[in-house]
């Protein structure tokens, strides 16, 4: 074994990084080179941690509220961030097209009433043998067409935002109104508002986006090599925001040049701590027969000849230990390797140890 006495480390050149190699160092050299150690973190079984993810709203919880008819915005009653209840009025509009649709319903109601009276009369005349059966069938057809016209007009008014009670009241009172109330389709929160008082809008122009924010969705980017150990239903956590959920879907195609798979999760606990569009780091439980896993700081990792290694403290210095990186996060990575669990590993000054392992520098 070669002793190292200069400030720049000299050690054996590693011909095979996968094999453990010793690097002799004194306490004085450790201090000069700024090398410090820390205990190997507790064993992690069945986890992928530090996975980049984005909080999203599930598609079935997001609604766009639009203008059903051409109209002018009279008043908006809510703003972005407001909580609303299903059926709550969000805005009022003035729409001449609504009054025209109401007039159409009243006309259809009049025609339907006349068709009913004609049918009652012709049924009696047919029983008395005064008119032919073909005349009766023609009258029946006219009555059915009148009923269909009423149904069509009522449905058009429903699509315009009128409730069943409002339509019944219209037919009873025969009073037209151009006032159109826009209501919320769900209990939720206003995410977007594009309408303002006095604005004139065509039909089908978006006014509000309303969403239910519990539960929330999570879209996670997973390295291809790690996907094989994932299963739908696995536990998903966001440790920084104390949120939890379950894995719901695993993608089948790779995304772009980063060779990752998109997986989705539903977060049901801790949603109040999250915001749609927020970027977070997620941890996913995996089912695997792989060797023991360890959550280690990225500063402790080095690469020698394309092999990931860490430096384990020994009585005379350090030795290299090859590891497999299962997942890499912003601050920490999950590795697999053969360790007892009580090892001390270098977490600072790793570049000096790497230089030594590569045989760079001079020695005595």
**Mean of per-residue pLDDT scores for the chain:** 85
Q: Cβ–Cβ contacts within 10 Å for residue 12, how many?
A: 16
Task: State residue 237's pLDDT score.
Answer: 94
CATH code: domain 62-95+178-211 is 2.40.50.100
For a pLDDT cut of 90, what percent of the chain falls above it?
A: 52
At residue 296, what are phi and psi to the nearest 5 degrees? Answer: -125, 150
Torsion angle of C-alpha atoms 166, 169, 173, 174, degrees rounded to 10: 50
Question: Which one, of 211, 224, 326, 222, lies nearest residue 264 by Cα?
Answer: 222
Residue 255: φ, ψ to 5° = -105, 115
Whole-number pLDDT of residue 1? 37
Domain boundaries, the chain: 22-46+291-357, 50-57+214-285, 62-95+178-211, 100-157
Across residues 113-128, what is the average pLDDT? Answer: 93
Q: Work out the number of other CB atoms within 10 angstroms of the CB of residue 335.
A: 26
CB count in 10 Å sphere of residue 314: 15
Per-residue model confidence (pLDDT) at position 152? 93
User: CB–CB of 46/286 below 8 Å?
Assistant: yes
Cβ–Cβ under 8 Å, residues 40 and 332: no
The pLDDT of residue 363 is 39
- Going by the DSSP 8-state scheme, the letter that residue 244 receives in this structure is E
For residue range 158-196, what is the model confidence (pLDDT) as tens digits?
Answer: 888 888 888 988 888 988 989 998 999 999 999 999 989
Q: How confident is the model at residue 64 (pLDDT cuts 50, 70, 90)?
A: very high
Residue-wise pLDDT for 86-96, tens only, equals 999 999 999 99
> How many angstroms separate the CA atoms of 163 and 156, rounded?
11
| Same fold across 22-46+291-357 and 62-95+178-211 | no
Q: What is the pTM of this model?
A: 0.62
Confidence of residue 18 (pLDDT cuts 50, 70, 90): very low
CATH number of this structure's domain 100-157: 1.10.287
Q: Regarding the domain delimited by 50-57+214-285, which CATH topology (the fold level of the hierarchy) does it fall under? A: Elongation Factor Tu (Ef-tu); domain 3 (2.40.30)
pLDDT of residue 265: 97
φ, ψ (nearest 5 deg) of residue 240: -65, -20
Q: How confident is the model at residue 5 (pLDDT cuts 50, 70, 90)?
A: very low
pLDDT tens across 208-241, in order?
999 999 999 999 999 887 787 788 999 999 999 9
pLDDT single digits (tens) 29-53: 888 888 888 888 776 556 778 889 9
Q: Which CATH class is domain 22-46+291-357?
A: mainly beta
């Amino acid at each position: 074994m070669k002793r190292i006495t200069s400030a720049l480390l000299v050690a054996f050149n590693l011909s095979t990084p996968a094999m453990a190699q010793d690097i002799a160092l004194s306490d004085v050299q450790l201090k000069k080179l700024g090398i410090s150690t820390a205990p190997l973190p507790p064993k992690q079984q069945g986890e992928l941690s530090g996975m980049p993810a984005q909080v999203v709203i599930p598609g079935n919880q997001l609604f766009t509220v639009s203008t059903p008819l051409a109209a002018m915005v009279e008043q908006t009653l809510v703003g972005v961030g407001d909580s609303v209840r299903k059926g709550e009025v969000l805005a009022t509009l003035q729409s001449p097209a609504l009054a025209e649709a109401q007039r159409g319903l009243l006309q259809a109601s009049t025609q339907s009433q006349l068709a009913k009276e004609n049918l009652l009369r012709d049924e009696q005349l047919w029983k008395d043998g005064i008119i032919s059966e073909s005349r009766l069938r023609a009258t029946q057809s006219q009555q059915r067409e009148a009923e269909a016209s009423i149904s069509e007009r009522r449905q058009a008014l429903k699509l315009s935002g009128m409730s069943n009670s409002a339509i019944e009241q219209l037919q009873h009172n025969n009073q037209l109104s151009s006032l159109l109330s826009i209501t919320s389709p769900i209990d939720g929160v206003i995410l977007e508002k594009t309408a303002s008082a006095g604005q004139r809008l065509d039909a089908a122009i978006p006014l509000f986006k309303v969403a239910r924010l519990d539960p929330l969705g999570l879209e996670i980017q997973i390295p291809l090599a790690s996907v094989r150990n994932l299963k739908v239903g696995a536990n998903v956590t966001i440790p920084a925001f104390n949120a939890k959920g379950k894995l719901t879907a695993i993608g089948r195609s790779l995304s772009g040049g980063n060779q990752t798979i998109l997986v989705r999760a539903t977060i049901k606990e801790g949603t109040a701590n999250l915001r749609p569009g927020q970027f977070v780091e997620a941890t996913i439980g995996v089912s695997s027969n792989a060797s023991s896993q360890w959550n280690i700081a990225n500063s402790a990792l080095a690469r020698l000849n394309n092999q990931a290694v860490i430096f384990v403290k020994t009585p005379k210095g350090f030795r290299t230990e090859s590891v497999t990186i299962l997942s890499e996060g912003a601050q920490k990575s999950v590795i697999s390797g053969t360790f007892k669990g009580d090892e001390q590993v270098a977490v600072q000054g790793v570049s000096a140890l790497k230089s030594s392992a590569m045989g760079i520098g001079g020695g005595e």
